Protein backbone atom coordinates (compact mmCIF):
# COMPACT_ATOMS: atom_id res chain seq x y z
CA UNK A 1 0.00 0.00 0.00
CA UNK A 2 1.19 3.50 -0.75
CA UNK A 3 1.08 6.41 1.68
CA UNK A 4 -1.84 8.00 -0.21
CA UNK A 5 -4.17 5.20 0.88
CA UNK A 6 -3.58 6.08 4.53
CA UNK A 7 -4.72 9.70 4.18
CA UNK A 8 -8.15 10.82 5.29
CA UNK A 9 -10.53 12.34 2.76
CA UNK A 10 -9.84 15.78 4.22
CA UNK A 11 -6.08 15.28 3.88
CA UNK A 12 -6.53 14.20 0.27
CA UNK A 13 -8.67 17.26 -0.51
CA UNK A 14 -6.10 19.57 1.07
CA UNK A 15 -3.39 17.88 -0.97
CA UNK A 16 -5.41 18.20 -4.19
CA UNK A 17 -6.31 21.86 -3.56
CA UNK A 18 -2.67 22.68 -2.81
CA UNK A 19 -1.56 20.89 -6.00
CA UNK A 20 -3.95 23.08 -8.01
CA UNK A 21 -2.58 26.17 -6.26
CA UNK A 22 0.99 25.11 -7.06
CA UNK A 23 0.13 25.07 -10.75
CA UNK A 24 -1.18 28.66 -10.61
CA UNK A 25 1.56 30.18 -8.39
CA UNK A 26 3.46 31.62 -11.36
CA UNK A 27 0.54 33.91 -12.24
CA UNK A 28 -0.38 37.22 -10.60
CA UNK A 29 -2.37 36.66 -7.38
CA UNK A 30 -5.78 37.75 -8.70
CA UNK A 31 -5.45 35.61 -11.84
CA UNK A 32 -4.07 32.69 -9.85
CA UNK A 33 -6.91 32.79 -7.30
CA UNK A 34 -9.46 32.98 -10.12
CA UNK A 35 -7.79 30.01 -11.82
CA UNK A 36 -7.85 27.89 -8.67
CA UNK A 37 -11.49 28.77 -8.02
CA UNK A 38 -12.48 28.09 -11.62
CA UNK A 39 -10.78 24.70 -11.57
CA UNK A 40 -12.44 23.65 -8.31
CA UNK A 41 -15.84 24.99 -9.39
CA UNK A 42 -15.61 23.13 -12.68
CA UNK A 43 -14.07 19.81 -11.64
CA UNK A 44 -14.99 19.20 -7.99
CA UNK A 45 -18.40 17.77 -7.25
CA UNK A 46 -20.58 19.53 -4.65
CA UNK A 47 -19.66 17.10 -1.85
CA UNK A 48 -15.97 17.80 -2.38
CA UNK A 49 -16.54 21.55 -2.36
CA UNK A 50 -18.61 21.26 0.83
CA UNK A 51 -15.82 19.30 2.48
CA UNK A 52 -13.38 22.00 1.37
CA UNK A 53 -15.53 24.66 3.06
CA UNK A 54 -15.62 22.51 6.21
CA UNK A 55 -11.80 22.31 6.10
CA UNK A 56 -11.57 26.09 5.60
CA UNK A 57 -13.33 26.58 8.94
CA UNK A 58 -10.59 24.69 10.79
CA UNK A 59 -7.55 26.53 12.14
CA UNK A 60 -4.20 25.35 10.77
CA UNK A 61 -5.98 23.52 7.95
CA UNK A 62 -2.84 23.15 5.83
CA UNK A 63 -4.27 24.92 2.80
CA UNK A 64 -2.00 27.01 0.63
CA UNK A 65 -2.64 30.78 0.99
CA UNK A 66 -3.66 30.82 -2.67
CA UNK A 67 -6.44 28.32 -1.95
CA UNK A 68 -7.56 30.52 0.95
CA UNK A 69 -7.74 33.49 -1.43
CA UNK A 70 -9.52 31.45 -4.11
CA UNK A 71 -12.12 30.26 -1.59
CA UNK A 72 -13.83 33.65 -1.91
CA UNK A 73 -14.70 32.70 -5.49
CA UNK A 74 -15.52 29.02 -5.01
CA UNK A 75 -19.23 28.23 -5.28
CA UNK A 76 -20.65 26.94 -2.03
CA UNK A 77 -22.90 23.99 -2.78
CA UNK A 78 -26.48 23.74 -1.58
CA UNK A 79 -27.59 21.05 0.81
CA UNK A 80 -25.48 17.96 0.30
CA UNK A 81 -26.82 14.56 1.22
CA UNK A 82 -24.39 12.01 2.60
17-26: pLDDT as tens digits: 999 999 999 9
The verdict on residue 80 lying in a domain is no
For position 48, what pLDDT does the model report? 97
What sections of the chain are H helices per DSSP?
A: 9-24, 29-43, 46-56, 65-70
Mean pLDDT of 33-58: 97
Q: What is the mean pLDDT of the chain?
A: 92
**What is the number of structural domains in the chain?**
1
Quick check: 2 pLDDT over 60?
no
Q: Is the pLDDT of residue 1 over 60?
A: no
Alpha-carbon distance of 17 to 20, in angstroms, equals: 5
Residue 2 resides in a domain: no
Compute the distance between CA of residue 66 and CA of residue 20 in angstroms, rounded to an integer: 9
Q: For residues 42 and 24, give the distance between their C-alpha atoms in angstroms, rounded to a whole number.
A: 16
| 38 lies in some domain | yes
Contact 75, 49 (CB under 8 A): yes
Structural domain for 34, as ranges = 8-73
Query: Residue 6: which pLDDT band, with cuts at 50, 70 and 90?
Result: confident
Amino acid sequence: MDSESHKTTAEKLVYMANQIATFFHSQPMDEAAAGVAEHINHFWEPRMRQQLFDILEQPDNGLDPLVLEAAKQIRKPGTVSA
